């Protein structure tokens, strides 16, 4: 049975007094609105059970809730740290690390971004009024679907690719926040008073955390809807990879330029002997990183890059703008089945992890 709608596992909210799981409806409604099928996971740290969910789900949403246990960032728990849930910490620690290994699609919200940071080696403020201090409102009163402060978004970030804006307004309901960013993560946005408000993990398709609450604002806020749409689209793209197009294509190209793709291409190139003045053809140039690697290994040579995706061509040209301007590199849109180059035009032709995009392998190699 083929999956049409991406399946999203949501980490549960837990009420100790009532000994019950619960969920804010906005989390599920915003995913349903974008065509996903959300469901709440049980609260468990059983590895076999969590592995089953990792296989079953296309992505995971790490929700808000309890404070993160300070032991996860090697700190002593202060009196002003709120209630923690050790079982949930263990559960999310296992899930997040496995999601990173498997390149699962991940979105963390509020506690979600905080735990992502602690899980991968960062630290947190245990209470903003006690340890940070700011005139900016970070723990707003209802209603929660309104803007209380602005955030500045880095232009060279996934979040900017999603929203197309360098500054947006957000709601805010938290008393903990990222203090020191984990080495494995990348900052994407900050609040006006300097707190990190959005992060991602380089080399992953979509491994994102935000400090604000789209589950309260998605109906009224276009930026929140774009964020959730990108989260769901990233899962769809993982289900059905194809020609990079639109936002999901940009997500794919970002991943191609780093992570496992980068390691594989570095390994492959290390086994090639390339003359300094070689003429090279890069087929399926993706995000352009392999063109840059070929140019670096061949300082007096030239590289021709081809791809049948318009956004791949655009991304590759931007990534290698200096070499294009200097005349060492040309990048054009072309289909591998219809290449018009004469025989012996190139000393070397490379194609890294691209043949699964080719509809007819026999024709491509004819």
Residue 210 pairs in a beta bridge with 109, 198
Average pLDDT of the residues in 180-208: 96
Quote the pLDDT of residue 248: 61
- Does 33 map to a domain? yes
Quote the pLDDT of residue 227: 98
Q: Which contacts (CB < 8 Å, 24+ apart) does range 255-260 have?
A: 255/103, 255/203, 255/204, 255/205, 256/286, 256/287, 256/289, 256/353, 257/286, 257/287, 257/288, 257/289, 257/319, 258/202, 258/203, 258/289, 259/103, 259/202, 259/203, 259/204, 260/103, 260/203
What stretches of the chain adopt beta strand conformation (E)? Answer: 7-10, 13-15, 20-22, 37-40, 59-62, 105-109, 123-125, 149-153, 167-170, 177-180, 186-191, 196-200, 207-210, 279-283, 302-307, 329-333, 348-350
- Does 346 map to a domain? yes
Give the C-alpha separation, 134 to 137, whole Å.
8
Higher pLDDT among residues 58 and 268, named by residue? 58
- Pick from 25-29, 105-109, 241-245, 323-327: least confident: 241-245
Q: Taking 90 as the threshold, does the pLDDT of residue 165 lie above it? A: yes
pLDDT-derived band at 259 (thresholds 50, 70, 90) equals low
- Does 50 map to a domain? yes
Residue 67 pairs in a beta bridge with 84
Give the C-alpha separation, 305 to 330, whole Å.
6
Q: What residues make up the domain containing 297?
A: 254-364
Q: What is the share, in percent, of the chain residues with pLDDT greater than 90?
A: 66
- Here the CATH number for the domain that contains residue 334 is 3.40.50.150
Q: What is the mean pLDDT of the chain?
A: 90
Give the C-alpha separation, 139 to 133, whole Å.
12
Q: Looking at the structure, do residues 228 and 309 belong to the same domain, yes or no?
A: no
pLDDT digits (tens, 9 = 90+) for 103-120: 999 999 999 999 999 999
Q: Looking at the structure, do residues 310 and 196 belong to the same domain, yes or no?
A: no
Average pLDDT of the residues in 263-290: 86
Closest CA to 63 of 259, 213, 243: 213
pLDDT-derived band at 3 (thresholds 50, 70, 90) equals low
Q: Taking 60 as the threshold, does the pLDDT of residue 1 lie above it? A: no
CA atoms within 13 A on the CB side of 117: 29
Average pLDDT of the residues in 199-206: 92
Quote the pLDDT of residue 365: 72
Token representation of residue 217: 């604002």
Q: Looking at the structure, do residues 209 and 262 belong to the same domain, yes or no?
A: no
Three-class DSSP labels, 16-77: CCCCEEECCHHHHHHHHHCCCEEEECCCCCCHHHHHHHHHHCCEEEECCCCECCHHHHCCCC
Q: How many helices and strands in the chain, by DSSP H and E?
A: 14, 17
Q: Taking 90 as the threshold, does the pLDDT of residue 9 lie above it? A: yes
Q: Looking at the structure, do residues 133 and 268 belong to the same domain, yes or no?
A: no
- Does 51 map to a domain? yes
Residues, the chain, total?
A: 366
Give the C-alpha separation, 167 to 215, whole Å.
20
Q: Taking 60 as the threshold, does the pLDDT of residue 2 lie above it? A: no
Quote the pLDDT of residue 339: 84
Quote the pLDDT of residue 262: 74
Q: Looking at the structure, do residues 182 and 261 belong to the same domain, yes or no?
A: no
Q: Taking 70 as the threshold, does the pLDDT of residue 247 lie above it? A: no
In the chain, the number of structural domains is 2
pLDDT-derived band at 33 (thresholds 50, 70, 90) equals very high
Quote the pLDDT of residue 66: 96
Q: Looking at the structure, do residues 295 and 265 belong to the same domain, yes or no?
A: yes
Identify the residue whose tokens are 């993990």: 201
With a CB cutoff of 8 Å and minimum separation 6, the contacts of 265 are 289, 290, 293, 352
CA distances in angstroms from 9 to 20, 26, 85, listed in the order given: 18, 14, 19
Quote the pLDDT of residue 70: 97
Higher pLDDT among residues 356 and 2, named by residue? 356
- Does 108 map to a domain? yes
- Does 2 map to a domain? no
pLDDT digits (tens, 9 = 90+) for 132-162: 989 899 999 999 999 999 999 999 899 999 9
- Here the CATH number for the domain that contains residue 153 is 3.40.50.880
pLDDT digits (tens, 9 = 90+) for 72-85: 999 999 999 999 99
pLDDT digits (tens, 9 = 90+) for 216-239: 999 999 999 999 999 999 998 876
Q: Looking at the structure, do residues 157 and 44 belong to the same domain, yes or no?
A: yes
Phi-psi label, residue 11: left if phi above 0, alpha if psi -120 to 50, beta otherwise: beta
């Amino acid at each position: 049975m083929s999956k049409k709608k991406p399946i999203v596992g949501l980490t549960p909210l837990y009420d100790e007094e009532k000994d019950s799981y619960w969920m804010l409806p906005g989390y599920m409604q915003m995913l349903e609105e974008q065509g996903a099928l959300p469901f709440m996971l049980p609260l468990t740290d059983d590895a076999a059970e969590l592995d089953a969910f990792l296989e079953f789900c296309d992505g995971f949403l790490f929700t808000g809730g309890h404070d993160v246990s300070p032991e996860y960032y090697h700190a002593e728990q202060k009196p002003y740290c709120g209630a923690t849930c050790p079982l949930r910490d263990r559960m999310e620690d296992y899930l997040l690390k496995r999601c990173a290994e498997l390149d699962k699609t991940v979105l963390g919200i509020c506690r979600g971004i905080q735990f992502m940071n602690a899980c991968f080696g960062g630290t947190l403020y245990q209470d903003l009024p006690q340890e940070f201090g700011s005139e900016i409102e970070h723990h707003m009163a209802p209603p929660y679907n309104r803007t209380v402060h602005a955030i500045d978004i880095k232009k060279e970030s996934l979040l900017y690719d999603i929203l197309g804006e360098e500054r947006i307004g957000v709601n805010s309901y938290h008393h903990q926040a990222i203090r020191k960013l984990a080495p494995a993560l990348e900052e994407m946005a900050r609040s006006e008073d300097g707190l990190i408000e959005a992060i991602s993990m380089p080399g992953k398709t979509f491994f994102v955390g935000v400090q604000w609450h789209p589950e309260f604002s998605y109906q009224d806020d276009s930026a929140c809807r774009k964020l959730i749409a990108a989260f769901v689209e990233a899962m769809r793209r993982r289900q059905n990879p194809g020609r990079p197009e639109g936002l999901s294509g940009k997500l794919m190209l970002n991943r191609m330029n780093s992570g496992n793709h980068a390691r594989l291409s570095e390994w492959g190139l290390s086994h090639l002997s390339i003359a300094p003045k070689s003429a090279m053809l890069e087929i399926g140039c993706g995000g352009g990183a392999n063109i840059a690697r070929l140019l670096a290994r061949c300082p007096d040579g030239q590289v021709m890059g081809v791809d049948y995706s318009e956004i791949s061509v655009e991304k590759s040209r931007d990534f290698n703008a200096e070499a294009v301007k200097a005349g060492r590199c040309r990048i054009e849109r072309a289909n591998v089945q219809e290449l018009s180059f004469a025989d012996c035009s190139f000393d070397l032709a490379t194609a890294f992890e691209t043949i699964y995009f080719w509809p007819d392998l026999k024709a491509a190699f004819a």
